[in-house]
Chain A
Amino acid sequence: MESSILRTEDFNAWFGSSHVLKNINIEIENNQITAVMGPSGCGKSTFIRCINRLHELTENATTSGKIFLDDKNIYESNPTLIRRKMGMVFQHPNPFNTMSIYQNVISGYTLNGYKLSKSEKDGLVEESLKQAALWDEVKDTLHKKGTFLSGGQQQRLCIARSLAMKPEILLLDEPTSALDPISTTKIEDLLLDLKKNYTIIIVTHNMQQAARVSDKTAFFYLGELIEYDVTKKIFINPSDTRTQNYITGRFG
């Protein structure tokens, strides 16, 4: 596997004149789960949406600075090709409601016009669904529409869909905030399993979740990266008072 270190260099982002990310410099480590947390409006969602260049699709959204994926600046490459290297899972599960579960998993390929043989497709679907811990629950109903699943199952389907593309980085934007506690636990266990093969960045507003699953945590506040360290240290002995205040619940 290639080393998939993600590195940002003096990265900034704006919505119109609103400066939402200020001079972010961070290095994300390979095969680890990095949590991004902070109060509402701190820029954490914007941050990961800049990584897969989804941010710039909003009107008046601009960026400056560099983000390096494998030492290549993603802002100098074609955005569509960059997005194919990343997987993104959103807050509200969004399987394609005109497609079956099977079709959803390989939708990245069909939509992009990549031709696969039937056996390749079957293999890919099974592998991705197994990786997303959904295979046993849906293996007999692969050809039903994805919208008949529960919220937690839909979210795992979206994870499978992203994994099928064999991304270098998996980005998750508050993936469990719309789910019940049991589904949340299932997905957190899933992520711990996935990190052996993938690099994962998860945005969360749930501190306990960050503490449970992540190896390193980045704390954002008002668009700035305040502190970035091993998770244990952030929660037990943070260096910055703002981090301390957030963790102890003084705000956010």
Chain B
Amino acid sequence: MKEKIKFRESRSGAFRALVILLTVVTVVPLVAVLYYIFRKGISVIDWHFLVSLPKPVGEAGGGIFNALIGSILIIIMAAVIAVPLGVTSGIYFSENSKTRIYNIAHLFVDVLQGIPSIVMGILVYLWFVKPFGHFSAVSGSIALAFMMLPSIIKSTEETLKLVPPTLKEASLALGVPYYKTILWVIVPAGLSGILNGIILGVARVAGETAPLLFTAFGNPFLSANIFKPIASLPLIIFNYAISPYDEWHRLAWGASFILVVIVLTLNILTKLAERKWKVQF
């Protein structure tokens, strides 16, 4: 009996050691990826890099200004498209959770979230590129907007569901009509949670490349024309990374660094905002 216990206890200790070992083996490479990107990228970053345009093959120097502008433009447009639809349906879901529309639409939101980004690219190509005969920044935004929708919808719904129902009752008891109660009392109360969901959605699509491959397509020049192809950070990283030129690789590391910093900052922002918001109620 005693020996059995000894065996069991040492087995438990061994398992724990195994778990710790595997954890270290897991975490170290993951953090190493971050470290590698930072190390390779930071030496490339300087003011010149950020504000100049890519140079043709063979020439040294050049920068990612067009990609920066392009990314910002595409993402802002995507948000403009996705936020109204996302917040409105989120409000519907939080207020009507027993209807049949809810059951089907809610399921479809989960489906939307799982659609591979490349398939999204195909769809938007078929809808907004082929009929018009050319690539465009707008079509890229639309693809990204579709991908942002699920996070915006879900966080709007969850936030509003958490607003105490007593607030709604207080407003209704004052004789405020239902639509004003929702718009001017409930939604403002949940505003930080909704904003959080939007930032989260942006963080998720900022680094997406596949949906832009056949929509925004990329552009070696600076362009702010939303109906023409446009450069963006993920696209430029992809194209430079698979090229055989060392100089382009160097630029790709710089662009990767910038992109990772942007995405990480947005994610950290949402985490902080989430904590601040959770205390409110």
A and B touch in the complex (CB under 8 A): yes
**B166-A54 in contact (CB<8A):** no
Contact partner of B166 (CB less than 8 A), chosen from A59, A92, A161, is A92
Q: Does A85 contact B (CB under 8 A)?
A: yes
Interface check A86, CB cutoff 8 A: yes
Bound CA–CA A96/B189 (angstroms)? 8
- Report B168 CB to chain A, min CB distance, Å: 9
The answer to the question of A182 belonging to the interface, with a C-beta cut-off of 8 Å to chain B, is no
Contact B169–A90 (Cβ < 8 Å): yes
Most buried by B among A52, A57, A83, A158: A83
Chain A residues whose C-beta falls within 8 Å of the C-beta of B172 in the assembled complex: 54, 57, 83
- A111 CB–B CB distance under 8 Å: yes
> How far apart sit A129 and B166, CA to CA, in the bound complex (Å)?
22
User: Interface code A71-106, partner B: CB below 8 Å = 1, 0 otherwise?
Assistant: 000000000111111111010101111100000000
Q: How far is the CA of A88 from the CA of B189 in the complex (A)?
A: 21
A94 with B176, Cβ < 8 A, contacts A111-B184, A111-B185, A158-B170 known: no
- Which residues of chain B (170-218) have a CB below 8 Å from chain A? 170-178, 180-181, 184-185, 188-189
**Does A112 belong to the interface (CB within 8 Å)?**
yes
Tell me, yes or no, whether B26 is within 8 Å of chain A by CB. Answer: no
Does A108 sit at the interface, judged by CB under 8 A?
A: yes
Nearest first, the 9 closest Cβ-Cβ pairs linking A and B are A84-B175, A88-B173, A83-B175, A108-B174, A94-B166, A111-B176, A94-B170, A80-B177, A98-B188
Answer yes or no: A12 CB below 8 A from chain B CBs.
Answer: no
Which residues of chain B from 114 to 163 have a CB within 8 Å of any chain A CB? Answer: none
Which residues of A come within 8 Å of B, CB atoms? 52, 54, 57, 59, 80-88, 90, 92, 94-98, 107-108, 111-113, 158, 161-162, 165
Shortest C-beta distance, A160 to chain B (Å), equals 12
| CB pair A59 B176 closer than 8 Å | no
Q: Complex Cα distance A81/B174, Å?
A: 9
The answer to whether A90 touches B166 (Cβ under 8 A) is: yes
Q: Is the CB of B167 within 8 A of A94?
A: yes
Contact A84 B174 (CB under 8 A): yes
B164 an interface residue at 8 Å Cβ cutoff?
yes
Residues of B in contact with A (beta carbons under 8 Å apart): 98, 164, 166-167, 169-178, 180-181, 184-185, 188-189, 280
- Given A96-B171, A108-B175, A112-B174, 7 more pairs with CB closer than 8 A: A80-B177, A80-B178, A84-B175, A86-B173, A88-B169, A94-B170, A162-B174
Chain B interface secondary structure, helix, strand, loop or mixed?
helix
Distance in Å from the Cβ of A78 to the closest Cβ of chain B?
A: 9
A54 in complex: contacting residue of B173, B177, B181, B189, CB < 8 Å: B173
Contact A97 B176 (CB under 8 A): no
Looking across the interface, which residue of chain A has its beta carbon closest to that of B170?
A: A94
Q: Complex formed: what's the CA distance from A95 to B170 in Å?
A: 8
Distance, CA A69 to CA B116, complexed state (A): 60
Can you list 16 pairs linking A and B with CB atoms under 8 Å apart?
Answer: A52-B173, A57-B172, A83-B173, A84-B175, A87-B174, A90-B170, A90-B173, A94-B164, A96-B167, A96-B185, A96-B189, A97-B280, A111-B176, A112-B174, A112-B175, A112-B180
Say yes or no: B174 contacts A165, CB within 8 Å: yes
Which residue of chain B is the closest to A53 with respect to CB atoms? B172
Let me know if B176 and A108 touch, CB within 8 A: yes
A96 to B170, Cβ gap below 8 A? yes
Considering the complex, give the chain B residue whose CB is closest to the CB of A83.
Answer: B175
- For the complex, what is the distance from the CA of A158 to the CA of B188, rounded to whole Å? 19
Complex interface: chain A residues within 8 A of B171 (CB):
96, 107, 111
Identify the closest chain B residue to A88 (Cβ): B173
Q: Are B166 and A83 touching (Cβ within 8 A)?
A: no
Q: Are B166 and A112 in contact (CB under 8 A)?
A: no
Please tell me which one of the listed residues B169, B175, B178, B188 contacts residue A165 in the complex, with CB atoms under 8 A apart.
Answer: B175
Give chain A nearest CB distance to B66 CB in angstroms.
42
The answer to whether B174 touches A111 (Cβ under 8 A) is yes
Q: Residues of B contacting A88 with CB < 8 Å?
A: 169-170, 173
CA distance A83 to B174 in the complex (A): 6
A196 to chain B, nearest CB (A): 23
